[in-house]
Structures are given as structure tokens and as C-alpha cells.
Amino acid sequence: MSSDQQVREPADSSQAADVAHRKRFVNGKSLEALALPIAWLAVVILFGVLRPSTFLTTANMSSILASQAVLVVVTLALVVVLTCGDYDLSVASVVGLSGMLIAILNVNHGVPIGVAILVALAAGLLVGFVNGLFVVLLEIDSLIVTLGMSTFVSGVVLWISDSNTISGISPDLVQPVIVWRILGVPLEFYYAMIIALGVWYVFRFMPLGRRLLVVGRNREVSRLSGIRVGAVRWGALMVSGLIAAFGGVLYVGTSGAAGPTSGLELLLPAFAAAFLGATTINPGRFNAWGTVIAVYFLVTGITGLQLLGAQSFVQNLFYGAALIAAVSFSQVVRRRRAAGTQ
């Protein structure tokens, strides 16, 4: 055997081993990406078999899809900020502020519902702007700033509402949100899907989406690459506030009323769904469709357990456990992807 053949054979063996390793990595990544949708389908089948007369009904499926539209929107607002490496604990309180402003303006002062909605959306933008002011300009940790903002906004809602629930929202909002339907499903579900589609499009096809991802992964490298890191982070916080405020519009459109604590219950489920969604479709990244699947996977499990007779506290147990499991799993996925690309 010639010396050239001896050199070529080890090189060929090394190349074949590298190709095999990459194939295993790709196959494993594909399985991870589909794990949650498969688990969701399994949960649907399980509860469909256990409770066919109540779970597998058009009314129940419509209720599941529509009832979580607000949570989908709030989680997408959170995902925008999480992608660029920050946190926004104020999203749930912005839902309450948005809803209460609409109720006060429309019910108590007779302001047209369209104008009231615009004011609510502007309030969400303002909250995001103030968050960015402290996080970007004063360089205070986003966790601290948005936690304080959440408490502050909740206090504002209590103040302007005088701690009262305000009902009687105009039918011009209630009907396009919960009354009008397509294929038996209220339009609020489709509004949430439009927001998801928009977030997905930005993340997938627009330079802004890539900038968010790069900033979230390494801010110093982003600065050296010419990305205006502060502007990206500030913009993400403002967009988060705007989307959360739209969640408030859907919230009052669904219930026809706004209370002093409306929306606050959405914070833990939103975090659970955001991190769980980062384990599917595009594992290791916060993404729009993973978020949607995570929200409906969680609510499907909770609904099924409640139909089996579980008490209401199962919801807190489910969301808390899902958050811990999702964060743990996302860390494992991130380490495996890093090892697989080496």
C-alpha cells in the first residue's frame, strides 16, 4: 500500500465519522422540534378516549381555542423581549391597564370604542418606552425595572378604577371579539394567530428579527458588528407593551368588563408557554409557532384533567411544573446544540 493511500484512508474515515455525527445531530434536532406537537396530539387522544362525550366536542374545542387567545398574545409579547435577552414582567399588568382604560373611557365617559382602543394601545407603548428608558439609558436590569413597573401599573389600575369592576363595554368591541365566528371559533382566536404570523414573519424573514436574535446571544459582538443594541432592546420593550395592550383589548372584548386585577393571572402561564415553546419547532430559540403550540398543549392538559374531576389548583401546579421543566429542557437543548456544532 502506498503512503498516499495510507494518508487518504484515515482522512476518509474521519470525514465519514463527521458526516455520521452531523446526521445524528440533525435527526435528533428534528425529533426535538416535533416532540411537543406529538405530545399535544397524544394528550388530545388520551382525553378523547377517557372523556369522548365531553372532551371531543365542537363546543369544547372552540372554547379551548378561543379562551387562550389573550394568553397567546401576551406570551408573544413576552417572546419578543426574551429573544433579545431581556425580561418583561409588566406584560400582564399592561393587559389590565389597557382593559381598564377602555372600560373607563367607553363606559364611564362615552368615548367611542375605536378611540378608547387607540388610547389603550398608546398606553402600552408608553409603558414599554418607560421600561426602555430605565433598562437602556440607565442600564438597570430589565428584571428589576419591569417588576417595579408591573407593581406601579397595577397601582395605577387600582387608582383609576377606584378598585371597582366596570362592565358594559360597547357591543362594537364584544361582537368582533367573541360573538362573531369563523368555522364555529370566535374571531379572537384568529386575531391571536395574525399576531403570531406577524411575529413569525419578522423573526424568520426580516433583518430586525436577526438583529433581535444576535443581540440576545451576544451584545458585545452585536455592537462590534454595528448593530444599535440599545435601540433594538428599547424597541423590543415598546413592541412588547403594544402587543400586551392589544391583549387587553381582547380581554375586555371577551368578558365585556374590566376589573382592578384583570390580566395579572396571565404572567406565570405566559412565562411557562414562552419557555416551553422554545423547546419545539425551533429548539433553543423563542419562536412564534412554538409559543402557540405550547399554550394550547398546556390548556389541553389542564382542561382534560378538570374534566376528569381535578380541582382548580391543578392549573397552578401544571403551569408551575411546566415552567420549571421547560427552562431545564431548554438548557439541555442549548448545550446539545452547542456540542453538536463543534
Residue 182: what are its φ and ψ, rounded to 5°?
-125, 125
Neighbours of 115 (CB within 10 A): 12
What pLDDT does 300 receive? 87
Residues whose CB is less than 8 angstroms from the CB of residue 193 and which lie 6 or more positions away in sequence, other chains included: 72, 292
What pLDDT does 147 receive? 95
Beta-sheet strands, E only, within the chain: 166-167, 181-182, 185-186, 257-258
- Is residue 244 within 8 Å of 124, Cβ to Cβ? yes
HSE-up (13 A, CA, CB side) for residue 29: 18
- Is residue 189 within 8 Å of 177, Cβ to Cβ? no
pTM: 0.86
What pLDDT does 5 receive? 53
CA 3 to chain centre: 60
What pLDDT does 2 receive? 53
**187 residue type, one letter:** L
Q: Measuring CA to CA, which residue among 39, 10, 125, 28 is closest to residue 325?
A: 39
For domain 33-340, give the CATH number: 1.10.3470
- Is residue 208 within 8 Å of 202, Cβ to Cβ? yes
**Residues pairing with 186 in the sheet:** 181
Planar angle of CA 301, 302, 306, nearest 5 degrees: 120
- Is residue 6 within 8 Å of 251, Cβ to Cβ? no
Q: Indicate the average pLDDT of the chain.
A: 85
What pLDDT does 291 receive? 92
What pLDDT does 53 receive? 81
- Is residue 76 within 8 Å of 294, Cβ to Cβ? no
Residue for grid cell 380581554: 251
What pLDDT does 22 receive? 47
Domain boundaries defined on the chain = 33-340
Q: Mean pLDDT in each 10-residue stretch from start to end of the chain (342 residues)?
A: 51 48 49 80 85 84 89 95 94 96 94 96 96 93 94 95 91 93 93 96 92 89 88 95 96 92 90 87 87 90 80 75 74 61 52
